[in-house]
Amino acid sequence: MSHAEDLSYMEMAFGLAENGVGRTSPNPCVGAVLVKNGAVVGAGWHRGPGRPHAEIMALRQAGSRARGAALYLTLEPCVHWGRTPPCLGPVLDAGLARVVISGTDPNPLVNRRGANALRRAGIPVSLGLLEEKNRRLNQAYFKHIRSGEPFVTLKAALTWDGRMATRAMSSRWISSPAARDYVHLLRAEHDALLVGVGTIARDNPRLTVRHPLWPRKKLLRVVLDTRLRFPSGARLLDTRDSGGILIFTGADIPAAKARALEKKGAEILRLPGRRDGIPLRPVLRELGRRQVASVLVEGGSAVGSSFLDGGLADRIFLSLSPKLFGGRGAPSFYEGRGAFTVRDALRARRARIFELGDEIFLEGYL
């Protein structure tokens, strides 16, 4: 096939893979397309942990028509047992004419072994088509596999002058209903949502995904609370069906308060901490150990600034509403150490801007 045809079918495979965003974690999003004599004879995408992988779905759909077909796969086939058997065997047995793979799997149990095994079996393999697209789609999986920590996105709603609230700490609502609806879609793409206890005390949020496209999405809700000030009547405690509640706190906390919150369904995890806050690196390591591959930080200025100062944020996602709050006491998005000179400024890479109504969304990587 021509390069243009290969590109077209791989784009189709990525279109399928994108259906897995927010569903497959801690596994990657993968899509597969089988093509024979210019016609698609099989297609599939990975729908979640424990469910068949994309190439297996495509092979099942194609049946005997897979023999002599070309397989377009966004990630090389796995070669190890996990919740499902290795995919390599069925792929080798299918009698494929060729395999086009976008990217290799960073998992050391798999990395290049799938592609190399296909080549050793005499199947022509093309590797690297739209590889950058694969890295972007699976950015959380790649980081989690390589570092053991989740991919961290800082999200905030701001005014045009960069304020997160007024000088009286009023912030409802900076953004429009349409923008807030979009944020629920963003939440649904993540495994966990993290805030500081100040957000719980001030706003009493539910921290759930409320969108018709995600009626049963569950999130781990993570709260940083050095002195266990978590309100016993917080609405969050009434939403246990929407995911777990994990409170990171210090070692010296009221035991009775901890027991009371645990009876209401929260998990309390004590960390030897500092007086100025919970150490973030142990938090991320613990989340990674729990197979949390992505976390959306919606905390206030102090929490977000701590992630930025610690070099622990991977992505920033901001919505800008056409309002001006002003006031020296009004909190802004980044109030950490700050830059001494212009050259010291944190700079976002791969910046992207889009509009929704009269609001502007900014996305960038650190």
Active site positions, annotated: 55
CA distances from 339 to 69, 217, 255, 326, 343 (A): 56, 39, 41, 21, 8
Burial class (CB in 10 A: 0-12, 13-18, 19+), 332: middle
Which residues are CB-contacts of 255 (< 8 A; sequence separation ≥ 6)? none
How far, in Å, CA of 88 to CA of 328, rounded?
61
Angle formed at CA 238 by CA 200 and CA 226, multiple of 5 degrees: 35
359 close to 175: Cβ distance less than 8 angstroms: yes
Angle formed at CA 188 by CA 151 and CA 355, multiple of 5 degrees: 90
Residue/partner pairs of 42-50 with CB below 8 Å, 24 or more apart = 42/66, 42/69, 43/12, 43/13, 43/16, 44/16, 45/16, 45/17, 45/19, 45/20, 46/17, 46/20, 47/19, 47/20, 47/23, 48/20, 48/23, 48/24, 49/24, 49/25, 49/83, 50/83, 50/84
